[in-house]
Amino acid sequence: MQLYNTMSGEKEDFAPLDGHTVRMYVCGITPYDTTHMGHAMAYLTFDVINRYCQYLGWQVKYVQNVTDIDDDILRKAKELNERWDLLGDRFIRQFQEDLNALNALPPAVYCRATEEVPTIIEIVSTLIEHGMAYEHQGNVYFRVKSDPEYGKLSRLGYAEMLDISGQRGADPNDPLKEDPLDFILWQASKPGEPTWESPWGQGRPGWHIECSAMAMRYLGEQIDIHGGGGDLIYPHHESEIAQSEGYTDKKPFSRFWVHIAMVRYEGEKMSKSLGNLVLARTVLRYHSPDALRLYLHSHHYRDSFEYEDSGPAEFEPMVDLLRSAMLIRGAEETSSLDLEPQKEQFMAAIGDDLDTPKAIGILNEMAKKLVNAAEAGHQIEDARASLRTASSILGLRVTR
């Protein structure tokens, strides 16, 4: 299996560090305005990684988090006049229902940031002891200049990072910071906000530290795959690396960094902030889950693409073909169709950095050959097993 590693900028051979268990952490949702096509593309891509790793004989310990306390959550709750925690619960249920409908395998651990405060406090305290963080008036900041490698994932310069961090929620003008690029690990409480006890007073964790805490608590200090959307490379994943490796005395945090390209809609990046969301549950009122999966996977995960409302409908005929391949009857005592070579081609495509567009083309040809062979009176049961195995990697229900 080869995966593109954002850290190296190249495709690399992948195998779990210990030879048998893939430890994979994927940044999850902030639970409001979910599940849109950008979410679906991201989590279905990691679902394919999960399934393919299991096909290769590895166990997968897949951890996905929920950022259930966040400035955006609090703002949305105020806008809707709803309790922040009940708002989060509602959208977490919606997200899980949507991913279930799309036949995504559930994570082994589905953790919430609000339940990890003790681990967060432990990591922040250690960073302060190491001189990599400092407290000022109840806020704790990571001292970016304490890490000379900060920027190694994103390959951005100081000015670029400062500009992007300001666009994504940080305050470069915060007078409590030693350096405008320093990022918050723990923030002091504000009136009306939920808070937790800490050595620095009442407050709540910063965004980046939540994921470091959850990844290390459930997967250990070094993991195999860390993933998320491409918009998380900076500042989120860059900052995760700095604080995690600062905590563990420079033990490499993740061996592979896998990022999903953005999904656009009507010329803009599909995002909650722009309000141009196409929701999975809306699409599933009109199209089958398999057609939606095939449409999304017809784009390579590292290529940004424009979501088309007519896209899923284009794959309904393939879903019908696969259904026919599962139902059609062949002969019992004549020559049999062998689809193993095509199945191996399919698996090779998936193993080549998840070339799902190529794999879908192969799967389509396998289904056509099977139907034609059955109509010609050949045995097809072994071929059907090959088709079923291949389609399971893409999480299709129709061939189960």
**Same domain flag for 95 and 243:** yes
Q: What is the mean pLDDT of residues 319-331?
A: 95
Residues 6+ apart with CB under 8 A from 361: none
Q: Look up residue 128 and give its DSSP letter.
A: H
Q: With bands split at pLDDT 50, 70 and 90, how would you rate the model's confidence at 278?
A: very high
DSSP letters, 230-252, are GGGIIIIIHHHHHHHHHHTTS--
> With bands split at pLDDT 50, 70 and 90, how would you rate the model's confidence at 360?
very high
Residue 333 has pLDDT above 80, yes or no: no
Closest-CA residue to 215 (of 245, 190, 187, 188): 245
Per-residue model confidence (pLDDT) at position 266: 87
The model's pTM is 0.96
166 domain-assigned: no
CATH number, domain at 98? 3.40.50.620
- Residue 168: pLDDT over 90: no
Percent of the chain with pLDDT over 90: 92
Query: Is residue 146 classed as helix, strand or coil in its secondary structure?
Result: helix
The reply to whether 315 and 210 lie within a common domain is no
Instruction: Check whether residue 107 and residue 255 sit in a common domain.
Output: yes
Q: Are residues 307 and 388 in the same domain?
A: yes
Query: Does any domain span residue 109?
Result: yes
Examine the domain organization and report whether 23 and 104 are in the same domain. yes
What's the chain's length in residues? 400
**Residue percentage of the chain with pLDDT more than 70:** 100
Q: Tell me: do 299 and 387 sit in the same domain.
A: yes
Question: Average of pLDDT values for 12-21?
Answer: 97
Rounded to whole angstroms, the Cα distance separating 43 from 64 reads 10
Residue 187 maps to a domain: no
| pLDDT at residue 90, rounded to an integer | 95
Residues 244 and 321 in one domain: no
CB 195 within 8 A of CB 97: no
379 in Cβ contact with 331 (< 8 Å) = yes
Kindly state the tokens that stand for 286.
Answer: 């009109």
Beta pairing, strands 59-66 & 109-112: parallel
CATH number, domain containing residue 309: 1.20.120.640
Higher pLDDT among residues 199 and 400, named by residue = 199
The C-alpha atoms of residue 90 and residue 36 are separated, in whole angstroms, by: 15
| pLDDT over threshold 90, residue 176 | yes
pLDDT for 364-376, tens place per residue?
A: 999 999 999 999 9
Q: What are the angstrom distances between the C-alpha of 183 and each of 112, 133, 249, 330?
A: 21, 9, 19, 64
Domain that includes residue 387, residue range: 287-393
Structural domain includes residue 111:
yes
Whole-angstrom distance, CA of residue 315 vs CA of residue 107: 27
Is residue 269 over pLDDT 90? no
String of DSSP letters for 329-398 = ---SSS-B---HHHHHHHHHHHHBT--HHHHHHHHHHHHHHHHHHHHTT-B-HHHHHHHHHHHHHTT-ST
Q: What is the pLDDT of residue 349?
A: 98
Overall average pLDDT of the 372-395 stretch: 96
CA–CA distance, 74 with 207 (Å, rounded to integer)? 14
The CA distance from 260 to 229, in Å, is 5
- Is 87 found in the same domain as 121? yes
Q: What is the pLDDT of residues 97-139, one digit of tens each?
A: 999 999 999 999 999 999 999 999 999 999 999 999 999 999 9
Q: Are the C-beta atoms of residues 186 and 207 closer than 8 Å to each other?
A: no
Residue pair 312/278 in contact by the 8 Å Cβ criterion: no
As to burial, measured by CB atoms within 10 angstroms (0-12 exposed, 13-18 middle, 19+ buried), residue 286 is: exposed
Q: What integer pLDDT is reported at residue 400 of this predicted model?
A: 80
> 178-216: per-residue pLDDT in tens?
999 999 999 999 998 999 999 999 999 999 999 999 999
Judge if 96 and 46 occupy the same domain. Answer: yes
Mean pLDDT of the chain: 96
Least confident stretch, 19-33, 210-224, 259-273: 259-273
Q: Report the range of poorest mean pLDDT among 151-160, 270-279, 306-315.
A: 270-279
39, 81: one domain:
yes
3-class DSSP state of 68: coil
Report d(CA 215, CA 225) in Å as an integer.
10
Pairing of strands 133-136, 139-142: antiparallel
Give domain status of residue 312, yes or no.
Answer: yes
Q: Is residue 32 part of a domain?
A: yes
For the chain, how many structural domains are there in total?
2
The answer to whether residues 213 and 316 belong to one domain is no
Q: 267, 213, 292: which is closest to 43 by C-alpha?
A: 292
**Which pLDDT band holds residue 339 (cuts at 50, 70, 90)?**
very high
Residue 380 confidence class, pLDDT cut points 50, 70, 90: very high
pLDDT of the residue at 169: 82
Same-domain status, 103 and 246: yes
**What is residue 5's predicted lDDT score, i.e. its pLDDT?**
98
What pLDDT is attached to residue 121?
98
